Structure 1
Amino acid sequence: MTQTRGKPPPSPIYSLRLRRIATKLEGAVSSTNFTRQAEPDEPVTPCGRLFCQPNMNCYIMCTLGFKNPINLPDFKRALQETLVKHKRFHSVMKKNMNGTDVWVPIEVDIHAHVFEPSGFSEEDVAAPHFVEKYVADLASAPSMSFSRPLWECHVLNGTSGDAAAHMIVRVHHSLGDGISLMSLLLACTRRVNHPHMLPSVPSKRKKPKVEPYFVPLNSLWTMLILLWNTILGLAYYFATILWMKDSDTKIKGHYGVDKAPKSLMYTVIDIDDMRVVKDAVNGTINDVLMGIIGAGLHRYLEGRYKVMQDVQSRDVDHRKDKSIVDHLRIRATALMNTRPTPGLQELATMMEGGSQTQWGNRLGYLIFPIPVKHFSDPLDHVRAAKKIGNQKKASLEGAFTYWSGALLMAITGPVLPALLTEHTTLQTTLAVSNVPGPMEPVMFNGNPIVHIYPAAAGQPSSLSIFFQSYDQKACLVAMTARDLIPDPGALCEYMADALQEMKRAVASRRQDAN
């Protein structure tokens, strides 16, 4: 990536101008005091190789809003002492003598990876939604050079809203999946109220205990359910590869959509509101998330198709319009991590030189039908999502997609798996990702973080929805292909409104019960 010297030519206000990147490859000693002798070369994971293919060249972008302006020199020193110590952040991908792709440590020039973009005035940076538009343009920025570690940080001081500054971390997907990278980022932070403590993250819900004499019967029944759901899931998966595709709606992507200009918008919702709905249907936060996505898409598509000519507001009777939207097939590709994510303490140890062999991508994916239908009871959106989610959780579909892809890559190389992944993703309508964040306010280098929201670019999808929790709040992010979905903010509002309708429905039932 290059940057023009001298006065920049006229360009759109949100165009990106990235500086030239240079690193030393030969005979280099890492700035983190690691040497190649201390760090044996580690092979690139199958998913990491997949994400290096031209048609699956994916990047993860995480935006952090800071309460105070960022002091760039101090910020660079803090990154060198934390994030850069992780091997993926001071290594490049090269082939060894056996032709295997491996991670090779090199020296990191921190000044080439962390910078303030030029070409913007103070008024530009302080404009509403500047950061979102910057991230959307960054999604279409040139690919990083594989001659250097595949990450960079963009620092924006003087932004408007609740954050005085923003940092956008752009990381190539080959370095790790979203959950692993978020966990690593959080391992670099500390609690605001307890500066020497790592943040806490949500834990998995404990399963109810089973009486000892029911254990054999319960185990047999669980195995039968697992087998049946796996067979159904794999049949659905292969049908999607061969012929089954989503309805050709106004929001469905096409080949080449990964290179299309992007739009991005997000809205903040309350986790406690989601818990109210979750408890009402005895479900999970994921069930509520998929339910509000279905409800939001239903309303958005109604407006796009102009099915109801007498619509004056969002709170109307939708019974007239079951002919088009209710019969659409809309599915999501939901990514899942197929191995346990390292704890924050373990990640902090990694950055001090501990073992890093369990790092990297190990992603499978599920094809999740979205309940885009009219329901008289708003909670039925969540109940429908819960029914599908329970089947997916009691299945090996996600693990199969990972292991079958890894086996195919070992036999044929990464080209064919990348083509199949691209084709399967294009058979669906959207991608969904849920990344849990810290449960209390955190800070990096003494600067409190006020919000976090992720995004990804390079995937062959016209609509990607990301859910990021942080301190009892959550950012619901929509990244879209601009020519197909020019108004992602409207979609975010529809999803947030759907959650409030569900909450009101729960309150109404409680009043009726009393």
Structure 2
Amino acid sequence: MVTRIVRSVAQQAARSAARGAVKQARRAARGVLGLAAERMSKVDTAWLRMDNEHNLMMILGVWTLRPGIDYEALCRRVQERLLQYPRFRQHVVEDATGASWVDTADLDVHQLVVREKLPRSRAASPQVALQARVGQLAMEPLDRRLPLWRFHLVEDYDGGSALVVRIHHCIADGIALISVVLSLVDGGAAPPLRRSRAPVHGAGGWIADTLLKPFTDLTVKALDAAGEGAARSLHLLEDPHAGLEGSVELARLAYQVLSDAGALLLMPDDARTLLKGQPAGRKRVAWCDPLPLDEVKAVGKALNCSINDVLLSCVSGAIGEYLRAHGDDPAGKEIRAMVPVNLRPMDHAWKLGNHFGLVPLVLPIGLENPVERVYEVRRRMDALKGSTQPLLAFAVLTVAGLLVKPAQDAILRLFSDKTTAVMTNVPGPREKLRFLGATLEQCMFWVPQSGNIGLGVSILSYGGNVQFGVIADAALCPQPQKIIDAFGPEFAKLSWLTLMLPWGEG
């Protein structure tokens, strides 16, 4: 069964990627408005086509700033820094075999940087009003005639300003976009300067050191083989004597991809809870006051667990508590969250595009005991170390980008049927940054949920604190603030139990 599915995918990929069709598409794209065109990568094409009525493939960010910033000053900063990246000046032209990046004629930055005014209400706080607007923007499609991003500035927000950022996932993945957006902050580096191999300090240094450094040349080599050669590798499985010039190494990789594909296909569908079902296409957004990072570190050290173990345990507990409060007993249940894993080499940090995989993390939402839960999370995180699943996910997305949309949708349903949430957990700058002279007080972002996935969870450490946020489909989770409100108490229980440990005994 698995072999037939993979063979079918390989055959369709080969047909869709026929050399003549690609050349014809490139010629057509170059003819649009007489402007230069660049072919979109297969993975980025897959993300472009993933928009649907329930989920738009936009990475969504929120900054709160004090004091407030000026609209024209923001436009100038975007013009000087962000528009130096070609992708942010280009729009997308689709054709039968894919898509191309095309320079946008007469681009005015004021078309892309938008002023917002939040409704004033005695009944709702500024944060609630901002959350409501962010939820609306999450399902507001980007105009395909312009570059696929927008900045929305609320000049007067809670004693300062708020900036909502929307960037389509086809431009880049979350890690690359964090790097790009942070080039906007005071002291940030322009794109050409980021190509240097010299040590990077300040806002960009933590990206290279914390997020990118762990990946070795071997990992990058495997990524290149799995990504660009995925369809050819699958074709090798059908005819071992065809192509690839006898590459034993790539043949072994192809066999590994097939084995891991079988494991993915055989992975059971996720547990049925209130959070799993048919989304409605309306979003709700919520976030909490940040937790001090030092307190999280102290709890992790006391329990011999990582910061991630502690935070993911609290997320599991908060979701379990939300379900109990709504009459859905999670006892004995667990849910699966897809976690993006960076696959980008350090010296490519300044580049755009999508270079990440996905790894499924099973959250033990049915365990009420917080200590038992944190150790179970630790066990599962340890089991994921060294997994090849992120490379498999990258390869699947590459192949999906080669196919016609119905075939792509069928492949991507494999992920959404087996998943309840998409979760990101990113370490940010240790010190608070400044932007146009203002202090960046809070920083949050969410990656999109694909298919029918209705829940997105974001954990971001920034400025000595940890920020927890949720974005959810209104039909599946109409009150995500209830999950947020349970996060703090879950950490408090774990912290209190840590204090009860027999310190100094034995």
Do the two structures share a fold, i.e. TM-score over 0.5? yes
- For the Cα contact (< 8 Å) 1:90–1:105, is it kept in 2? yes
Match of 1:483 in 2: 475
Report the Cα distance in structure 2 between the residues aligned to 1:445 and 1:368, rounded to whole angstroms.
39
Identity percentage over the alignment? Answer: 19
Paired residue type of 1:239: L
In the TM superposition, 1:387-406 aligns within 5 A as 387-406=379-398
The worse-fitting range, judged by mean Cα deviation, of 103-112 and 170-179 is: 103-112
**Pick aligned residue for 1:472 from 438, 441, 464:** 464
SS in 1 for 2:367: coil
Matching of residue 175 in structure 1 with residue 175 in structure 2: no
Matching of residue 238 in structure 1 with residue 272 in structure 2: no
SS in 2 for 1:326: coil
SS in 1 for 2:275: coil
Match of 1:372 in 2: 365
SS in 2 for 1:328: coil
SS in 2 for 1:252: coil
SS in 2 for 1:380: helix
- For the Cα contact (< 8 Å) 2:177–2:352, is it kept in 1? no
| 1:198 positional shift | 3.6
Paired residue type of 2:331: D
The CA RMSD over aligned residues, in Å, is 3.3
The worse-fitting range, judged by mean Cα deviation, of 144-153 and 102-111 is: 102-111
SS in 1 for 2:179: helix
Report the Cα distance in structure 1 between the residues aligned to 2:129 and 2:118, rounded to whole angstroms.
13
SS in 2 for 1:168: strand
Match of 2:151 in 1: 153
SS in 1 for 2:334: coil
Describe the superposition over 1:48-99 as per-residue Cα deviations: whole angstroms up to 9, x where unpaired. Answer: 2122224364111111111012211111011101112111111112369x95
Instruction: Mark the CA change 1:271 to 1:89 in structure 2 (over 3 Å): closer, same or farther.
Output: same
Match of 1:355 in 2: none
**Pick aligned residue for 1:266 from 288, 300, 308:** 288
In the TM superposition, 1:47-196 aligns within 5 A as 47-53=43-49, 54-55=51-52, 57-94=56-93, 101-106=99-104, 107-117=106-116, 120=119, 127-141=126-140, 143-160=141-158, 164-190=160-186
Instruction: Mark the CA change 1:26 to 1:231 in structure 2 (over 3 Å): closer, same or farther.
Output: closer
- For the Cα contact (< 8 Å) 1:366–1:397, is it kept in 2? yes
Match of 2:427 in 1: 436
- For the Cα contact (< 8 Å) 1:188–1:444, is it kept in 2? yes
Match of 1:248 in 2: 272
Report the Cα distance in structure 1 between the residues aligned to 2:180 and 2:130, rounded to whole angstroms.
23
Match of 2:250 in 1: none
Describe the superposition over 1:194-220 as per-residue Cα deviations: whole angstroms up to 9, x where unpaired. Answer: xx954542744999xxxxxxxxxxxxx
The worse-fitting range, judged by mean Cα deviation, of 481-490 and 175-184 is: 481-490
Match of 2:247 in 1: none
- For the Cα contact (< 8 Å) 1:156–1:166, is it kept in 2? yes
In the TM superposition, 1:283-302 aligns within 5 A as 283-302=305-324
Paired residue type of 1:201: W
Match of 1:220 in 2: none
| 1:458 positional shift | 5.6
- For the Cα contact (< 8 Å) 2:460–2:468, is it kept in 1? yes
The worse-fitting range, judged by mean Cα deviation, of 361-370 and 421-430 is: 421-430
| 1:167 positional shift | 0.6
TM-score of the superposed pair, with normalisation by structure 1: 0.73
| 1:119 positional shift | 7.7
| 1:487 positional shift | 2.0
- For the Cα contact (< 8 Å) 2:433–2:439, is it kept in 1? yes
In the TM superposition, 1:202-213 aligns within 5 A as 203-204=209-210
Match of 1:219 in 2: none
Structure with bigger helix share is 2
| Stretches of 4+ aligned residues off by more than 6 angstroms | 122-126, 229-233
- For the Cα contact (< 8 Å) 1:94–1:104, is it kept in 2? yes
- For the Cα contact (< 8 Å) 2:364–2:377, is it kept in 1? yes
- For the Cα contact (< 8 Å) 1:266–1:478, is it kept in 2? no
- For the Cα contact (< 8 Å) 2:333–2:364, is it kept in 1? no
Describe the superposition over 1:258-285 as per-residue Cα deviations: whole angstroms up to 9, x where unpaired. Answer: 6234343334222222212332343333
Paired residue type of 2:441: V
Structure 1 unaligned residues grouped into runs of 5+ = 1-24, 29-35, 208-225, 307-323, 348-357
Number of matched pairs? 418
Report the Cα distance in structure 1 between the residues aligned to 2:39 and 2:440, rounded to whole angstroms.
34
SS in 1 for 2:484: helix
In the TM superposition, 1:307-386 aligns within 5 A as 324-340=329-345, 347=350, 358-376=351-369, 378-386=370-378
In the TM superposition, 1:437-452 aligns within 5 A as 437-452=428-443
Instruction: Mark the CA change 1:122 to 1:504 in structure 2 (over 3 Å): closer, same or farther.
Output: closer
Match of 1:353 in 2: none
| 1:423 positional shift | 4.2
- For the Cα contact (< 8 Å) 2:313–2:373, is it kept in 1? yes
**Pick aligned residue for 1:492 from 484, 498, 506:** 484
- For the Cα contact (< 8 Å) 2:265–2:414, is it kept in 1? no
Report the Cα distance in structure 2 between the residues aligned to 1:476 and 1:445, rounded to whole angstroms.
26
| 1:386 positional shift | 1.6
Report the Cα distance in structure 2 between the residues aligned to 1:70 and 1:336, rounded to whole angstroms.
34
Report the Cα distance in structure 2 between the residues aligned to 1:458 and 1:333, rounded to whole angstroms.
10
